[in-house]
């Protein structure tokens, strides 16, 4: 195991909405992502999902409210909760989720990623 430099890993890719796997921890995958625009409403029936903002401001639209997550903050979407990430400007994220978590839950969209690239 070696030290992971988040800034260095983020510099290795520019594509958006395509998380990159940078590690694993106790059955969890650690992902980095760059996003801009709106994702699709989806949920993860059996898994919580943690969004930590490295750069920018993330809005997580839920069915009953919108949660704003600023740089240096994180928010955990509970399992089964519909959510739609929105980034008005490019946002860099660190995500923690179980290895079994599907990118867009049971929703299949043009942006759905089946297997995360490891970097």
Cα 6 to chain centroid distance, Å, stands at 14
Question: How many CA within 13 A on the CB side of residue 60?
Answer: 22
The band of 78, judged by pLDDT with boundaries at 50, 70 and 90, is: very high
Which two structure tokens, joined as six digits, stand for 97?
């989720």
Backbone phi and psi for residue 67, each to the nearest 5 degrees, phi listed first: -105, 130
| Stated pTM of the model | 0.84
Which of 37, 16, 41 is closest to 87 using CA atoms?
Answer: 37
Q: Enumerate the domain spans of the chain.
A: 20-118
Residue 109 has pLDDT above 70, yes or no: no
pLDDT at 102 over 70: no
Inter-residue contact 62 to 37 (CB < 8 Å):
no
Give me the CATH code for the 20-118 domain, please. 2.60.120.10
Q: Is the pLDDT of residue 73 over 70?
A: yes
pLDDT number for residue 115? 76
Q: Are strands 20-25 and 117-118 parallel, antiparallel or unpaired?
A: parallel
């Amino acid at each position: 195991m070696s030290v992971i430099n988040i800034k260095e890993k983020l510099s290795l890719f520019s594509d958006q909405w395509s998380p990159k796997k940078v590690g694993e921890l106790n059955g969890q995958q650690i992902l980095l992502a760059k996003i801009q625009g709106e994702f699709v409403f989806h949920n993860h029936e059996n898994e919580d999902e943690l969004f930590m903002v490295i750069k920018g401001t993330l809005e997580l639209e839920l069915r009953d409210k919108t949660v704003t997550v600023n740089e240096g903050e994180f928010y955990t979407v509970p399992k089964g909760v519909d959510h739609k990430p929105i980034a008005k400007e490019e946002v860099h994220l660190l995500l923690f989720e179980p290895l079994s978590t599907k990118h867009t839950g049971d929703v299949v969209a043009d942006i759905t990623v089946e297997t995360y690239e490891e970097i």
